[in-house]
Structure 1
Amino acid sequence: MISLDDMMVFAKVAERKSFTLAAEELDIGKARVSQIVSKLEQSLNTRLLHRTTRSLSLTDAGARYYDKCKLIGEIALEANAETQDTNQIPSGIIRISTPSSAMVDILSEFLHLYPKIKLDIVESDSYSNLIESRCDIALRASSALEDSSLYAVKLGYFRDMLCASPAYLAKVAPVTKPEDLLQLDWISHHIVHGDKQLTLTNNQGTITRLPHSPKVQVRTSATVKEFVLNDLGFAIMPSFMMKNELARGELTRLLPDVHDLAIPIYAVYQEKALMPLRVRTLIEFLRQKERAFE
């Protein structure tokens, strides 16, 4: 039977990337720490660490095992704290992947409510960041999960819109029908919209497809927005990213009868049963903010 104490010793070694530093922090001998990790590897029949005379790093199996050990340690701390204090306050670091800096207002409100929580934000539209960067949560405009270990909870809906800056539109012919877009420069979010055709969908579900090549291809929604605001073309953008600019007149919506697509937004995460209180708290907070994504 593998000891939970031994798992916590391994977690400390993985965290500190050093047998010596882990031993000092745990106040036990370095030889004992090394012995515990070796015994774990034998029990698991898996190498958890790459060891050299100068460095220590996790194997792929070791990285996955460390994530589980860390979660178990956090759950144990929370269980003890909840027993001691029924009014426990969520605390600690949440690593979150989000496609847009437009989430700053929502996340700022969350931090004001829970000042003991810290956020480590990764701005990315790629699912890979959730796994490779070991994010606790990813906010994504899709429920498609590329890994069976992932879970998703719907937070609300936003609207996909065509937009351009007034300065750019002043330089081109009026846009009154879908085909007029073919004469304009397209700023494409390559991951979402590709580079071969515009696909437009109205609120009745009617789809219009136009073969078009983008002037600029990018990989994040934030970058799409910056190019559009720099008067370089039109783009398809989520409503929550552009509502302030629309209100200030810095962006103009195009062809709302042609493209007005409601898209669900999800919080995607890796663990369901062993979820830290701070992560559960953030997910519940976001679920209450459904209108903020519109």
Structure 2
Amino acid sequence: MNRNSENLSPRLSLSAPRLPRVDPARWRLRLKGLALPVLILAVLEIVVRLGWLPSYQMPAPSEIALTLGELAEGALWKHIGASLLRVLLGFAIGAGLALVFAAWVGLSREAEAYLEPTFAGLRSIPSLAWVPLFLLWLGIDETSKVVLIAIGAFFPVYLNGVAAIRNIDRKLVEVGQMYGFGRRRLVRRILLPAALPGLFTGLRSGMSLAWMFLVAAELIAATKGLGYLLSDGRETSRPDIVLAAIIVLAVLGKFSDGVLAGLERRLLAWRDTFDGHGGNRQHTED
């Protein structure tokens, strides 16, 4: 019994859970990112309190914070849930279709000849121009809003996807062909990894436009959502509600972009690229 316990104790110590490593440099960068918003809020608070800006046009940040607290105790979460669901559905549909068409056009000049002129014309149409048409075709329910958001997410992902594929170094493709890669293996082993940076740029741009198109959809015909909250604040002459809704949209947009950025860092951790510090990024194992 004693021998077993002696043999077991080192194993237990070796298998103890490791605490996550804290990166001080990353936290310093995040704190620096908060400097400008905090400075803007402080200046606005002072300017409004001194009477240089009328409070009925620009409420003080402290008043907006109180409004956010009141909304959080009421219907704010219902509006956030409705908007978030619409954005996720629209982005998934638009980005998914965009990746399919980007791969098709990027790998085929014939597909580009058929599709690119039409897509070039469609992406120049303003978002608000689609709203009355979708209301006539799809009504005022969720379908028209999701379709509008999907259109907003489609074109940035499509454009960046095609550009990412077409900008792949030809030598990489030739190396794959020399090793006898078939078309499917060439796409999986060479084209997709090389195109991922451009694809993530498109996905992050598409997510930003999805939030913009959401507001366009909810301002026209909605009974809940952050766009409806904006419209309600305007109709009731409550700039604090309007600004509170804008702040929530900014926070949600930043959060969704951060999720994609984190996924990008994880999937592209193999790259050795310039990171803005005057040298190449060095990978260290935790």
Structure with higher helix content: 2
TM-score range, shorter chain: under 0.3
TM-score, normalised to structure 2, is 0.22
TM-score, normalised to structure 1, is 0.21
